[in-house]
Structure 1
Amino acid sequence: MRYVKLPKENTYEFLERLKDWGTLYAPVKISEKFYDFREVEDVRQIEFKYNRTIMPPKKFFFLPREKMFEFSISKAEYEEVIENVEPFVVFGVHACDIFGLKIMDTIYLDELPDKYYKVRREKGIIIGISCVPDEYCFCNLRETDFADDGFDLFLHELPDGWLVRVGTPTGHRIVDKNIKLFEEVTSQDVCNFREFENKKHQMFKYHEDWGNLRYLLEMETEHPMWDEQSDLCLACGNCNLTCPTCRCYEVQDIPNLDGDTGVRIRRWDSCQLRSHGLVAGNHNFRPTKKSRFMNRYLCKNAYNEKLGISYCVGCGRCTYFCPAEISFVRNLRTIMGLEDKSCPPEVAEEIPKRGFAYASTIRGDGL
């Protein structure tokens, strides 16, 4: 991998030159507490030290709402809508969100690529930036706190600038075209980089092994936590909408007033909504709020075999933006016995029975 240094005094000029590569999006402060990725005109509005944005960067590749095709009933035909996607740059992406995009790639760029997602991934440039965790972050437990790939450039904060890792041929071209803005990396820069990463590691709130978590979730389907926390849940779907790896969508046909033509769209869906599990015949695979609540925890902690990580990247958004103040991490630690350490002896005898409850959880039977 290639390493260069971007001096602090050249930062804004570099950001301005990124506009030559496409529309520039970056984290900006949108209220007293919140940040979001927005199109940037003035590069001095970019926030470098933010914890999380409201919406993850997946919104640039997997649109919250997009038109698929227009149709005519009388003509019995449809015309596919292919949007002309212009090049764009997403600056300031944290490592956990880069892993989120890598997870999305395993879903939408597999053996049957999604054409709408694929064209945006090909047009988009990802530039990552280092960060420090707050009390909501647990990406270290998910092994997503440092990205090896999935970016074109990645900027690591130094006392006097940025150590830049170059990850792709596009990243090389960006550096080469602006080579006068960069310097060689010195041994002192490497020391500063190492010190930053060591301090970052120590700043995480939790340091524990979550390797068996997904199995405990399957075995503990009768744990009282599910009833207690699902009762608090508003079933609003906010956790899904802010999650960098939730990928469910629904398809709708919207007719025009002429009663003949219309448009088919797809939009983000949430497994926390009752309509998500509803199918023909008015059967619902997850009719209760508890079954939907449990499904999300099982889904997010399932194992992505292609990447070797869970579908949760530890960004903390689902907890931070939950209007019911439900803590995803606290609930998981409760299941692991780290929040509530009480475990009566008779529980060991029940575990074989609890294992069979997993199938009914997925179906929603009896929940």
Structure 2
Amino acid sequence: MRYVKLPNENFDEFFNSLKNWGKVYAPVKQGNIYTFKNVEKLSEVSLNYTRTMLPPKKFFVKPRDEMLRLKDSRWEKCGEAEKTVLFGVHSCDIHGLQILDKVYLDEPADPYYKERRENSIIIGISCMPDEYCFCKSLGTDFAMSGFDLFLHELPDGWLVRVGSVRGHEISWANEELFEEVSEDDLKNFRAFEERRAKAFKKKLNKEGLADMLDLAYDSPVWKKYEKICLGCGNCNMVCPTCRCYEVCDKWINAYEAVRERRYDSCFMVSHGLVAGGHNFRPTRLDRFRHRYYCKNYFDPEAGFNCVGCGRCDEFCPAKIEHVKVLDEVREALE
């Protein structure tokens, strides 16, 4: 991996150069939340954000996605993937996209997801955790792959890690904006990472988590939180690794229709409904417990399906805390 330095005085010019590679989307503050939006100027970007409400997966698996359009008795693919630069993606969300890659790019690859991934540039940026973050517990607080460039804040600029062929192309095209990394820069980089590691307030105990979940299927803790949970599905909608969707045909008239894919939630009663009217998760208890098994049951090949971003905690209207639930389940077994 190549390391270069981007001085503060060159940051604006570097940002503007990204428009040559695609439409730039970056975190922008809207009210009390942050969202990835198309931006034209660096001054529009909130570099010190903690998390956006919807993760960057929305660019690859859209909340509502027109797949096919029926016209003149023929189904035609909708749209083409635009060249996209996602600027300011945090490490946990990069790991989230890599989890989605294992699902959507496995054979047979999803053509919509694949085309969008191939036409995107991922530029990561360093962050400081808040009271919801527990990515350090899951090893997703630092990304070693899955990005083109990753920017780490220094006192007088940014240490840039180049993580792909396209990342090298961007750095070569802007070679005059970068400098060699000095010993002081590396010292400041290490100091920031050490300070960041100590800033995490929340920790998930992973030890024996799969065994614990095997033993805790009938834990009274699930029943306790089932009564608190609103069953709204907010946690699914904001999760960077949830990938359930449904497909439906919307008729415009007798001769035209649109086939649409949209997010689905395992908290919805209809999610477990199958042919014959059987529902294999008929109660809220079944659905609440299922999400924890889906996210936290460790697969030796795939790892966890949770990246510790804290979105499910922050945006839960019932204020249910993911780690707290698992801690209580563990304590109930002792």
TM-score for both structures, normalised by structure 2 = 0.96
Q: Quickly say closer, same or farther: Cα 1:304–1:25, change in 2 above 3 A.
A: farther
- Quote the residue 1:19 is aligned against: 19
Is the CA contact 2:91–2:140 (under 8 Å) kept in the aligned structure 1?
yes
Tell me, in whole angstroms, the C-alpha distance in 1 between the residues paired with 2:155 and 2:42. 20
Does the alignment pair 1:318 with 2:317? no
1:293 & 1:64 partners in 2: Cα distance? 22
Kindly state the Cα deviation for residue 214 of structure 1 after the two structures are TM-superposed.
2.5
- Deviation at residue 196 of structure 1 after TM alignment: 0.7
Alpha-carbon distance in 1 for matches of 2:288, 2:24: 37
Q: Number of aligned pairs?
A: 334
CA–CA separation in structure 2 for the residues paired with 1:264 and 1:91: 31
Please list the CA deviations of residues 204-250 of structure 1 after superposition, one character each: whole Å capped at 9, or x if unmatched: 11456413112212211222211111111111111001000000000
CA distance in 1, matches of 2:263, 2:136: 28
Partners of 1:85 and 1:256 lie apart in 2 by 24
Task: Specify which of 332, 335, 341 is matched with residue 329 of structure 2.
Answer: 335
TM alignment of 1:36-75, pairs within 5 A: 36-71=35-70
The answer to whether the 8 A contact 2:4-2:178 is kept is yes
Tell me if structure 2 keeps the 8 A contact 1:25–1:38: yes
- Superposed, 1:1-367 pairs within 5 Å as 1-31=1-31, 33-71=32-70, 78-207=74-203, 209-258=205-254, 260-307=255-302, 309-337=303-331, 343=334
**More displaced 10-residue stretch of structure 1: 63-72 or 137-146:** 63-72
Distance 1:86 1:254 in 2: 25
SS of 1:284 mapped into structure 2? coil
Distance 1:263 1:140 in 2: 43
Deviation (angstroms), 1:289: 0.7
Deviations 1:262-311 (A, max 9, x none): 2211111000111111122221111111100011000011335445x300
Q: Measured at CA, do residues 209 and 325 of structure 1 come closer, stay the same or move farther in structure 2, by a change above 3 Å? A: closer
- Which deviates further from its counterpart, 328-337 or 118-127? 328-337
Following TM superposition, by how much is the alpha carbon of 1:22 offset from its aligned partner in structure 2, in angstroms? Answer: 0.4
CA contact (8 A) 1:57 1:97 kept: yes
Query: Aligned to 1:295, what secondary structure does the other structure show?
Result: helix
Q: Which blocks of at least 5 consecutive residues in structure 2 are unaligned?
A: none
Does structure 2 conserve the Cα–Cα contact (< 8 Å) formed by 1:8 and 1:160?
yes
Larger Rg: 1
Q: Which structure 1 segments of 5+ residues have no match?
A: 344-367
Are the equivalent residues in 1 in contact too, given 2:148–2:167 (CA < 8 A)?
yes
Q: Aligned pair in 2 of structure 1 residues 208, 229: CA closer, same or farther (>3 Å)?
A: closer
* Preserved CA contact (<8 Å) 2:213 2:297: no
Q: Relative to 1, partners in 2 of residues 1:139 and 1:200: Cα closer, same or farther, differing over 3 Å?
A: same
In the alignment, the residues of structure 1 paired with residue 64 and residue 204 of structure 2 have an alpha-carbon distance, to the nearest angstrom, of 38
Equivalent position of 1:356 in the other structure? none
Alpha-carbon distance between aligned partners in 2 of 1:85 and 1:68, rounded to the nearest angstrom: 12
Give the whole-Å Cα distance in 2 for the aligned partners of 1:251 and 1:140.
36
1:309-344 alpha-carbon deviations (Å, 9 max, x no partner)? 30000000000000111111110111222xx7x83x
Q: Which amino acid aligns with 1:162?
A: W
SS at match of 1:89: strand
Residue 250 of structure 1 aligns to a residue in which SS? strand
Structure 1 length-normalised TM: 0.88
Contact 2:50 2:128 in 1 (8 A): yes
Deviation of the 1:82 alpha carbon? 4.0
Q: CA deviation at 1:70?
A: 2.7
Considering only aligned residues, what root-mean-square deviation do their CA atoms show, in Å? 1.5
State how far apart, in whole Å, the 2-side matches of 1:271 and 1:216 are: 22
Cα-to-partner distance string for 1:90-129 (whole Å, 9 max, x where unaligned): 0000000000000000000012100000000000000000
**2:152 alignment partner AA:** H
Contact 2:134–2:204 (CA under 8 A) maintained in structure 1: no
Question: Hey, what's the Cα distance between the residues in 1 that align with 2:284 and 2:6?
Answer: 50
C-alpha distance in 2 between matches for 1:284 and 1:207? 35
Q: How many angstroms apart in 2 are the aligned matches of 1:115 and 1:324?
A: 37
Moved over 2 A (4+): 206-209, 302-307
- The residue type equivalent to 1:36 in the other structure is T
